Amino acid sequence: MRNRLLMATLIGFSALVCGGCASMTRTGEENARMQRQIVNLEMRQIADDWNYVWLADRQPRLTKWHTR
């Protein structure tokens, strides 16, 4: 009986963690909003990185100061 109760508790807890709320402190909608913000930030950063790659190709020889 004790083993069955322990097994049912573990299965219920794992179902709650995996299928229910996304975490203990945030709801699924809050996690989805955070993921959208992270993806948005990363996409903007990719554009900045790409621009930096093209600008860092070679330094211009018209000035003696380092420009970016």
pLDDT in tens, 10-65: 787 666 655 555 567 888 899 999 999 999 999 989 888 887 777 766 666 777 77
Domain residue limits at 40 = 2-55
How many Å apart are CA 28 and CA 61, to the nearest integer?
54
Specify if 63 maps to a domain: no
Has this prediction a pTM greater than 0.85?
no
Number of domains in the chain: 1
Does residue 27 lie in a domain region?
A: yes
pLDDT of residue 62: 75
Confidence (pLDDT) at 66: 66
